[in-house]
Structure 1
């Protein structure tokens, strides 16, 4: 099943191949919350401060138009690369700085699906929750589900690394470099964004 990937203003468009998705999750980490604040997108977070993520193989994400609007930031010099559409500051994805980690955390806010479509394909988002200690209100953690979900997400990434697969387009070039230079926020900016 293929779904539309689109920023809020529609200038950046693409496709998401759900057959390449491993899991659907909600992340409550302070950096995901800070990313939403950096973008000026507080509505991205759920009532407890979580961001819905589709854990995917990188080759399941395609940008077909508006790639010039692709931008990248990071919360620290070694932190995740956080991708967004600069035209309207729509969050797109999180990737490792290492293209050898064959994984993309696609932010569900940029995926356009009919009601129930993601549930049918990947199950409810709240089945797998991460970093619940940073939630802004109590969230029930499920350690066994988290363990099973982690295996579903990282086993394919480990197998891809053993096979020598590397992440490429749309976030990395053929040489394994990010297609955009990441804007790294200062420690003070990160702390201010985390405080909200």
Structure 2
């Protein structure tokens, strides 16, 4: 798969330590998705900023729990792509930074990692929360989503014009969830 992202359409960059992000990374089994404390580097952006230029037929999806985010990946190599709400009328995709090839270019385009820390309480090690940065990032995301709504942005990327996913995001079975979501120590 190949694609591009337009950094000008990014809302915020955060590291998420939630158990769902950890389970997603473990299930895909790709090294480098999580940091040592279990955090996933996520770039929140408008889905119009993401374009696939080759291999779009390989996009696969899963959901970790009923009503949870849809988590997308390349079915051919299990590279994580991002997460979206369940309906395409919300202009949000959380691109997993690990799918972007060059860390230096990521930092130059989207700013340094860890300015915004989400769900620090679920981290596998000591991680300092960033409550004020979370509020600021949340406001930037909300502003981007509302602006897209006011502009009547059509669903894109993973969704059809009615807002339904182009592909089925299969729920993980209980058997697949167990190793992906071990109990905290």
Deviation digits for residues 43-98 of structure 1 (CA, Å, limit 9, x no counterpart): 31101000001111000000111111110100123111100001110000100012
Deviation digits for residues 148-171 of structure 1 (CA, Å, limit 9, x no counterpart): 111112211123224432431x21
Residue pairs, 1:127-166, within 5 angstroms: 127-166=115-154
1:116 partner SS: helix
Residue pairs, 1:50-61, within 5 angstroms: 50-61=39-50
Deviation digits for residues 22-62 of structure 1 (CA, Å, limit 9, x no counterpart): 11111101000000111112431101000001111000000
Q: Is 1:194 paired with 2:168? A: no
Query: Contact between 1:103 and 1:167, CA under 8 Å: does it hold in 2?
Result: no
Match for residue 22 of structure 1 among 11, 16, 32: 11
In structure 2, do the counterparts of structure 1 residues 74 and 58 end up closer, same or farther at CA, with 3 Å as the change threshold? same
Tell me which moved more, 58-67 or 153-162. Answer: 153-162
Residue pairs, 1:74-113, within 5 angstroms: 74-113=63-102
Q: TM-score scaled by structure 1?
A: 0.87
Q: Match of 2:109?
A: 121
Q: Is 1:172 paired with 2:159? A: yes
Match for residue 59 of structure 2 among 62, 67, 70: 70
How many angstroms does 1:189 deviate by? Answer: 3.8
